[in-house]
Amino acid sequence: MARALELHPDRLFPAEPATRAIARALYAEVATLPIVSPHGHTDPTWFAENANWTDATSLLLAPDHYLYRMLYSQGVDLDALAIPRLSGMPATDPRTAWKLFAEHYTLFRGTPSRLWLDHVFSDVFGIDVALEASTADRYFDLIGEMLASDAFRPRALFDRFGIEFLATTEGAHDDLAAHRRIRQSGWNGRVVTTYRPDGVIDVEHEAFKPAMMRFAELTGEDVYDWKGYLAAHRKRRADFRAAGATATDHGHPTAATANLSRVEAEALFAKVTRGDWTPADAELFRAQMLTEMAAMSVDDGMVMQIHPGSSRNHNAGLFASHGRDKGADIPTGTDYVHALKPLLDRFGTSTRLSIILFTLDESTYARELAPLAGHYPCLKLGPSWWFHDSPEGMRRFREMTTETAGFYNTVGFNDDTRAFLSIPARHDVARRIDCGFLARLVAEHRLADWEAADLAHELTSGLVRRAYRIDEPHFAAQAA
């Protein structure tokens, strides 16, 4: 007999009864607030085309590196999970891949992936039995049947989930065609883009040269001349703002910044575009471009997000066979105090610039990030991210940053996901954890109950809306 699947109403709340009661009351204040998702990686063509998804494997398993990363660690071959190779899609039946996933679902016990997926299975699809080998076919058939209906098209789910604002992420060399189709369709869902220029900044990326060629085509600028290259970025940023973007995003290996003279910057740029650069040159160029992007943000108001500290594609063999973003990215130690100083020396006191810092190095929360954000007007702290987007990671973030940076130098929650159906689950986890943290402060008489209620709203909606300038007239008008 299949085991029951049930989401406990008190999940993630404090175990102590009195504190749990406070958390329940706070959660009731924010549980149904609209979702604001200002940074993520969902595919905008889903909303442009509004086509039906086909099956559970292609929607829930194959795009989610959180899932197959764990399976790979236990010796499961990615070909057996229908994960595409660079040479093409393996000849794996989606149902067979799903059964294999179901047989290994116990691997996810205690992980955030299990929390998110069970929420999707129960709340989105209404399934009341647990996923395991004996129920794999039942899941696959039921999910496939529902996905074929109009109620499970992307736009219908967007509305059902209560999403008010959703940002995707595109490169400087992307033509934004999907976003144009969304705006021209007459649908009123607010799906906007985010400017991610890494592809034309990171000379160590294997696709740098073709990205630069496309960058030139889209802008009509001589992108191999320093002046023309910067002008091309300004043009593309304007294109992205016209597509609703309020933010940029920068996923560099480190948080290094630089403040070179014009002559030095031109010489460095000439070197990297000639192709005779060293790894140190590549790092210095990325560092200089963070400062250049900050200067442009001062001019156009776009919010900067800096996501450093990941050693990408650590598994060389997997990178060669399957390419990027296949679960082999590993966090590294990250310096912020020294790395950001050149940029902060130039812009740190600006009230026109807003930079949101993220980290995969939790040791920096109390030592570096909270003191920096607690001092410089231009800095705010992004939420616990990626490997730390978990109940424990969220609690650690609050415990290690609040005493120095407070709540108002943070920006609420963003889900940073490719998995569209997990968005409500991820936001629900964040709301529950924040309400539990606030409940403890009330129970310890460090906050009044009305202050905690106000903060619950701020952490759910207010901070993120202001941090990403979602409601500012200039950006709202661009998205209309």
119 and 166 within one domain? no
On whether residue 401 sits in a domain, the answer given is: yes
Tell me, rounded to whole angstroms, the distance of Cα 318 from its chain centroid: 23
On whether residue 301 sits in a domain, the answer given is: yes
Measured from the Cβ of residue 45, the count of other Cβ atoms closer than 10 Å reads 16
On whether residue 81 sits in a domain, the answer given is: yes
Where a domain ends, among 121, 152, 183? 152
What's the pLDDT at 300? 97
Q: Would you state the structure tokens that stand for residue 340, as one six-digit string?
A: 């950001």
DSSP state of 107: G
Prediction pTM value:
0.96
Crossing angle of helices 279-300 and 262-274, rounded to 10°: 130
83 and 209 within one domain? no
On whether residue 5 sits in a domain, the answer given is: no
Where a domain ends, among 136, 152, 168? 152
What's the pLDDT at 253? 96
Q: Per the structure, how many domains does the chain have?
A: 2
Q: Show pLDDT as tens, one digit a residue, over the chain (480 residues).
A: 789 999 999 999 999 999 999 999 999 999 999 999 999 999 999 999 999 999 999 999 988 889 989 999 999 999 999 888 998 877 689 999 999 999 999 999 999 999 999 999 999 999 999 999 999 999 999 999 999 999 999 999 999 999 999 999 999 999 999 999 999 999 999 999 999 999 999 999 999 999 999 999 999 999 999 999 999 999 999 999 999 999 999 999 999 999 999 999 999 999 999 999 999 999 999 999 999 999 999 999 999 999 999 999 999 999 999 998 888 899 999 999 999 999 999 999 999 999 999 999 999 999 999 999 999 999 999 999 999 999 999 999 999 999 999 999 999 999 999 999 999 999 999 999 999 999 999 999 999 999 999 999 999 999 999 999 999 876 555 555
On whether residue 7 sits in a domain, the answer given is: no
336 and 442 within one domain? yes
User: Vertex 443, ends 441 and 447: CA angle to 5°?
Assistant: 45
Integer Cα distance of 370 and 296 in angstroms: 25
242 and 147 within one domain? no
224 and 187 within one domain? yes
Where a domain ends, among 97, 126, 152? 152
Crossing angle of helices 449-457 and 423-443, rounded to 10°: 160
276 and 248 within one domain? yes
Beta strands in 104-192 (DSSP E): 163-167, 170-171, 191-192
Tell me, rounded to whole angstroms, the distance of Cα 247 from its chain centroid: 12
Integer Cα distance of 139 and 328 in angstroms: 28
Whichever domain contains 367, its CATH number is 3.20.20.140
Provide the domain limits for residue 225: 17-51+153-479
Task: Provide the phi-psi class of 99: left if phi over 0, else alpha when psi is between -120 and 50, else beta.
Answer: alpha
Pair 51, 150: CB distance under 8 Å:
no
360 and 266 within one domain? yes
292 and 263 within one domain? yes
> Which among 52, 51, 53, 49 has a CA at the least distance from the CA of 182?
49
Integer Cα distance of 64 and 422 in angstroms: 10
Whichever domain contains 147, its CATH number is 1.10.2020.10
On whether residue 182 sits in a domain, the answer given is: yes
DSSP assignment of 7-25, as one string? --TTTTS-SSHHHHHHHHH
39 and 77 within one domain? no
370 and 341 within one domain? yes
Task: Provide the phi-psi class of 60: left if phi over 0, else alpha when psi is between -120 and 50, else beta.
Answer: alpha
Integer Cα distance of 197 and 220 in angstroms: 17
225 and 114 within one domain? no
Q: Would you state the structure tokens that stand for residue 352, as one six-digit string?
A: 């026109």
Sheet harboring 35-37: ordered strands across?
35-37, 163-167, 191-192
Residue pointed to by tokens 């802008």: 219
In b/e form, how buried is each residue of 227-246, taking b as 16+ CB within 10 angstroms? eebbbbbebbbebbbebbbb
Q: What's the 3-state SS for 370-412?
A: HHHHCCCCCEEECCCCHHHCCHHHHHHHHHHHHHHHCCCCECC
Pair 180, 469: CB distance under 8 Å:
no
On whether residue 11 sits in a domain, the answer given is: no
Residue pointed to by tokens 């220029």: 197
Query: Could you give the count of Cα atoms lying within 13 Å of 155 in the half-sphere of its Cβ?
Result: 14
On whether residue 9 sits in a domain, the answer given is: no
Pair 455, 289: CB distance under 8 Å:
no
231 and 159 within one domain? yes
What's the pLDDT at 48? 98
What's the pLDDT at 90? 78
